Amino acid sequence: MSSLRLIVFGRQGAGKGTQAVRLADHYGIPHISTGDMLRAAAASGSDFGRQVKEIMDSGSLVSDEVMEGVVAERLAQPDAAAGFLLDGYPRTPGQAEYLQTLLAPDGVQAAINLEVPEDVVVDRITGRRVCSSCGATYALGRDESAVSGLCANCGGEVLQRPDDTEDAVRKRLALYAESTEPLLNWFRERDLLVDVDGVGDPDDIAAALVARIDERRSGAPGAGS
């Protein structure tokens, strides 16, 4: 079977990170985030890697041209030969065009969109509490530490982060929708988008994702979104 090349999308708080790790483990492919790619390039010691490191150290934004080089370098590594799961790239239709050209003739098999209603995501994020000492995370309604305000791991103070208020979260979600919808449409128009319900038991969601991906790989009828 050909190598498995996937992209994963999802609102903040949709459980994308959790499911991406599960998918990568299930298929034995690396879960590669934008940050991973940039750090790998900067640590490579190559002329290009030193250029990336200078950009990162200066706090400047990485241009599309530089990001294309980062992606090409990372996806050429041996661990990506059997496939990969990309998280955080592409971010624009132009980057998607570049990625498909880079991976020609096969391109990616699917762009997974983990769908969770905005109100559910807002509840998840606003209910999140974080230990100010060790960074452990807790959830209201599930973890005692979120209620008591004391971390079960280190005894540190458990707080709500300033950017986890409802107003801040809704602003971030609006920005995500504005920037991501054109990209989702790009993949949808090419019959590459696979929408999967992200609400429910994580095990059930993971099973649904695997089923949809395997349908794609087998070429089963109705394997699109």
Say which residues have a Cβ less than 8 Å from residue 110's Cβ, sequence separation at least 6: 6, 7, 192, 193, 194, 212, 213, 216
Q: Verify whether residue 170 is a known catalytic residue.
A: no
Catalytic residue among 142, 161, 171, 190: 161
Catalytic residue among 39, 53, 170, 172: 172
d(CA 90, CA 79): 20
Q: Verify whether residue 171 is a known catalytic residue.
A: no
Catalytic residue among 5, 128, 129, 216: 128
Catalytic residue among 11, 16, 74, 216: 16
Catalytic residue among 91, 170, 188, 217: 91
Q: Verify whether residue 53 is a known catalytic residue.
A: no
Pseudo-torsion of CA 9, 12, 13, 15, nearest 10°? 20
Q: Verify whether residue 212 is a known catalytic residue.
A: no
d(CA 136, CA 159): 11
Q: Verify whether residue 91 is a known catalytic residue.
A: yes
Tokens of 65: 């041209």
130-150 residues labelled b (16+ CB within 10 A) or e (exposed): bbeeeebebeeeebebbeeee
Q: Are 74 and 41 in contact (CB under 8 A)?
A: yes
20-29 residues labelled b (16+ CB within 10 A) or e (exposed): bebbbeebeb
Where in the sequence numbering do the catalytic residues fall? 16, 91, 128, 161, 172
